[in-house]
Amino acid sequence: MNNKYEIVVGLEVHAELSTKTKIFCGCKNEFGAEVNTNVCPVCMGLPGTLPVLNEKVVEYGIRMGHALNCTINRATKHDRKNYFYADLPKAYQTTQDDVPLCANGYLDILVGDETRRIGITRLHIEEDTAKLIHADEFGGTLIDFNRCGVPLIEIVSEPDMRSAEEAKVYLETLRTILLYLGISDAKMQEGSIRADVNVSVRPVGSKEYGVRVETKNVSSFSGVYNAIVYEANRQIEVLENGGELFQETRRWDDAAGKNVLMRSKEDAQDYRYFPEPDLLGYVIPEELVENLKAELPELPVQKTLRYMNECGLSRADAETIALSKDKAVFFDACMATGKCGPKLLSNWVLGEITRVANERRCEISELPLTVENLVDMIALIENKTISNAAAKTVFEIIVDKDEKPADIVKAKGLAQISDSSALQTIVDSVIAANEKAINDYKGGRTNVLGFLVGQCMKQSKGQGNPAMFKEMMIAAIENS
């Protein structure tokens, strides 16, 4: 990147909603079904059919609008965007033009050590198009209409991002919010989130925006990052060579790692938007809008900040938990018991528990491990009843069986020995058996202390309290 220039990015993000049925008909909304099986006259665009709006789509859109701090336009309407292409048998897409469901919001994201506020211009609901499958075998195109009529929300940001990294974080944050709200699978690899990336560059310090170029068809986080870097570099090169930039639309080719020109501004299409005559305008009840707002869960960025500020977790740990709904739900449930502190808990959630869930390719919520047993076990570590080593043994059991940690500790004799006379006997025998190490210590090589405490731990079969061993060992040597 040439540092004479600043990058300006705005994203248009499409997300498929995970409603049971499509937006204007009763066909199933599912990914991966056999081609052209979830179809009917409505979503195939046959003449004479009429759309019926799926209320869940409006509800999901409002949820997302609230999460993005938008104004909800209760009096809303739908419009036709007219164009002729094989992916849309009606020859128009039913979308929203001048009155989007939600508008004028923002999303705070965490980039590096900074909180950045990204403006949300609008969010509207619309239908997805059919999927075109280009078949090289016969040089033609196959059409799968299952995707036709799948509900989408389109979220348009202000040109408020200033780097590829920021755009990537913005998209990741949007994705996590969709998952927290439970309104989209948000699987980029299945195309449930797709982004159009708008990029311009301007000399550092300039107040004016440069000429915007839109790159379509970006469908992965790395794709968004690479598409922005590629396009910014292309624009800078043109400018540095004394050339001129034009407003145009380009297509991202992820495999090739570059974009190609699709169309320039001159041949931009005129979609001749007009109000959808087959759907009446309607007013969304205020109560519904308010209820959906009240139901809004705590969102990932707020969670990250809370974990850092109230629980004292590091930025990395806080974010790793908050960005995974599965981890966060479990962590919060444990914290809610009030039985253990956040530090050790986060270590277990991010360490052993995640390891086991990964090994078994399942969610933490699917493990037999209960919140109660885990917090009881952590409390036993915290009040020094068991050592970390003994806790591993307890964990191996409670991760599969609903047994009380205290019972396991008793049955297996795992309790840490903190009785000083029992520990003193061990310290004395270790001192007697390690004359050389003791002399080394007295001669100033104090790092042999670790070895000596290790010997004590070994004799106590891991059950001695290491901090007490250390203290008693120093005292014993110094008094000898």
Q: Which stretch binds Mg ion (CB under 5 A): 77-85, 188-196, 263-271, 465-473?
A: 188-196
Q: Kindly state the smallest distance separating residue 255's Cβ from Mg ion, in Å.
A: 23
Touching Mg ion, residues 4-23 (CB under 5 A): 12
Residue from 85, 209, 246, 451 in contact with ligand ADP (CB under 6 A):
209
Q: Kindly state the smallest distance separating residue 175's Cβ from ligand ADP, in Å.
A: 17
Q: Which is nearer to ligand ADP, 213 or 369 (CB)?
A: 213
Q: Which is nearer to ligand ADP, 175 or 325 (CB)?
A: 175
Residues touching Mg ion: how many (CB under 5 A)?
2
Residue from 19, 29, 76, 157 in contact with ligand ADP (CB under 6 A):
157
Q: Which is nearer to Zn ion, 26 or 351 (CB)?
A: 26
Residues touching ligand ADP: how many (CB under 6 A)?
16
- Provide long-range contacts, Cβ within 8 A and 24+ apart, for 257-260: 257/226, 257/230, 258/230, 259/215, 259/227, 259/230, 259/231, 259/234
Q: Kindly state the smallest distance separating residue 352's Cβ from ligand ADP, in Å.
A: 43
Is 8 near ligand ADP (CB under 6 A)? yes
Contact call for residues 86 and 134 (beta carbons, < 8 A) = no
Q: Kindly state the smallest distance separating residue 1's Cβ from ligand ADP, in Å.
A: 16
Is 185 near ligand ADP (CB under 6 A)? no
Q: Kindly state the smallest distance separating residue 149's Cβ from Zn ion, in Å.
A: 6
Q: Which stretch binds ligand ADP (CB under 6 A): 3-11, 96-104, 139-147, 231-239?
A: 3-11
Beta-bridge partner residues of 210: none
Cα atoms in the 13 Å half-sphere on the side-chain side of 124 = 19
Is 149 near ligand ADP (CB under 6 A)? no
131 three-class SS: strand
| Contact of residue 27 among Mg ion, ligand ADP, Zn ion, none (CB under 5-8 Å per partner type) | Zn ion
Is 93 near ligand ADP (CB under 6 A)? no
Q: Kindly state the smallest distance separating residue 154's Cβ from ligand ADP, in Å.
A: 9
Contact call for residues 473 and 452 (beta carbons, < 8 A) = yes
Q: Which is nearer to Zn ion, 25 or 335 (CB)?
A: 25
Is 199 near ligand ADP (CB under 6 A)? yes
Cβ neighbors of 172 (< 8 A, separation 6 or more) are 221, 323
Query: Whole-angstrom Cα distance, residue 81 to residue 77?
Result: 13
Contact call for residues 390 and 414 (beta carbons, < 8 A) = yes
Residue 365 token pair: 């919520």
DSSP element (H, E) containing 345: helix 342-348
Pairing of strands 248-253, 213-218: parallel
Residue 186: count of CB within 10 angstroms of its CB:
19
The torsion angles phi and psi of 445, rounded to 5 degrees, stand at: -85, 75
What is the side-by-side strand order in the sheet with 193-203? Answer: 71-72, 102-111, 114-127, 151-157, 5-16, 193-203, 213-218, 248-253, 258-264
Q: Kindly state the smallest distance separating residue 174's Cβ from ligand ADP, in Å.
A: 13
Q: Kindly state the smallest distance separating residue 125's Cβ from ligand ADP, in Å.
A: 15
Q: Which is nearer to Zn ion, 150 or 438 (CB)?
A: 150
436 three-class SS: helix
Site residues (vs Zn ion, CB under 5 A): 25, 27, 40, 42-43
Q: What residue spans of 150-203 are helical by DSSP H?
A: 164-181
Q: Which residues bind ligand ADP (CB under 6 A)?
A: 8-12, 156-159, 198-200, 209-210, 212, 214
Q: Which residues bind Mg ion (CB under 5 A)?
A: 12, 196
